[in-house]
Amino acid sequence: MKVKLKVWRQENADAQGGFEEYEADKVNPNMSFLEMMDVVNEGIIEDGGNPIAYAHDCREGICGTCNCMIDGKPHGPENGVTTCQTYMRSFKDGDTITVEPFRAKAFPVQKDLITDRSALDKIQQAGGYVTVRTGSCQDANNLPIGKDIADLAMDAAACVGCGACVAACKNASAMLFVSAKAGQLNLLPQGAPEKDKRVLNMVAAMDEAGFGNCTNQYECSAACPKLISEEFIAKLNRDFIGATLRKNFQAKALD
């Protein structure tokens, strides 16, 4: 099959970008989208041009590196997959495919289709952990955790940190990401001692990074390659209200 590509090209963060058109012929429907892009790039290099820059690594849908906005949907037309797991059979012969970077103020474009998603790391550093000294832990089975809670925590933990939720959200909100990360730890007993601090700090970091607000449209969940449910956002809201109230009305030790 044969497809036309309309790809966002931008030399660097400060440069003016724009769309350029490319053609990919002899496309095998069983090729992945990124393999098709590889071939286009090989052609560009052979013709003496500058290849398209796009982020990718594991190519098995788990590292969260790849992040193309394909025809207006993060990661492409299929549901619950990453860009690298999008295959050319999802397109028709003769299609024009528009490829853009994930866009958000908090995700500045670095080059072509590559965006800087370090804001997500900053949010994690604000509280996405359980403070535990290496080697100081009790036996793992001393802390029974019900299967349903463990499974739910795993649902949240499946997040690959790709940023599709932000890209899909009309408001560039990172709520699904933050709620999944905070939710996983808040659900588990290990995360309980730092729960309130975690929620308040991660929300503050999210706001500071310049992400938008959730308007409860759930585009994030629909675009998520792991289909993480928006119910974690509700949980984050609930935890936030609880944490704020407790912070104000609970007795506290002297500083």
Could you identify the residue written with the tokens 């059979």?
Answer: 89
Among 3, 55, 176, 228, contact with other proteins (rule: CB under 8 A): 55
Among 2, 89, 92, 246, contact with other proteins (rule: CB under 8 A): 89
- Residues numbered 93-132 forming contacts with other proteins, rule: CB under 8 A: 98, 100, 103-111, 114, 116-118, 120-121, 124-126, 128-132
Chain length of the chain: 255
Please identify, using beta-carbon distances, which residue of 23 and 58 lies nearer to other proteins: 58
Site for other proteins contains 184 (CB under 8 A): yes
The nearest distance, CB 94 to other proteins, in angstroms, is 18
Could you identify the residue written with the tokens 């000294």?
Answer: 133
The nearest distance, CB 176 to other proteins, in angstroms, is 12
Q: What is the DSSP string of 57-121?
A: --SSS-S----EEETTEET-SSSS--GGG-BGGGS-TT-EEEEEE---TTS-EEETTEE--HHHH
- Residues numbered 196-255 forming contacts with other proteins, rule: CB under 8 A: 200, 203-204, 206-207, 210-219, 221-223, 229-231, 233-241, 244-245, 247-248
Please identify, using beta-carbon distances, which residue of 139 and 254 lies nearer to other proteins: 139
Q: How far from 153 is each of 91, 163, 183, CA to CA, in Å?
A: 35, 19, 7
Residue 25: Cβ-neighbour burial (10 angstroms; 0-12, 13-18, 19+):
exposed
The nearest distance, CB 253 to other proteins, in angstroms, is 18
Name 96's bridge partners. Answer: 4
Residue 180 · residue 169 · CB < 8 Å: no
- Report how many residues bind other proteins under the rule CB under 8 A: 133
- Residues numbered 145-164 forming contacts with other proteins, rule: CB under 8 A: 145-147, 150-151, 153-154, 157-158, 160-161
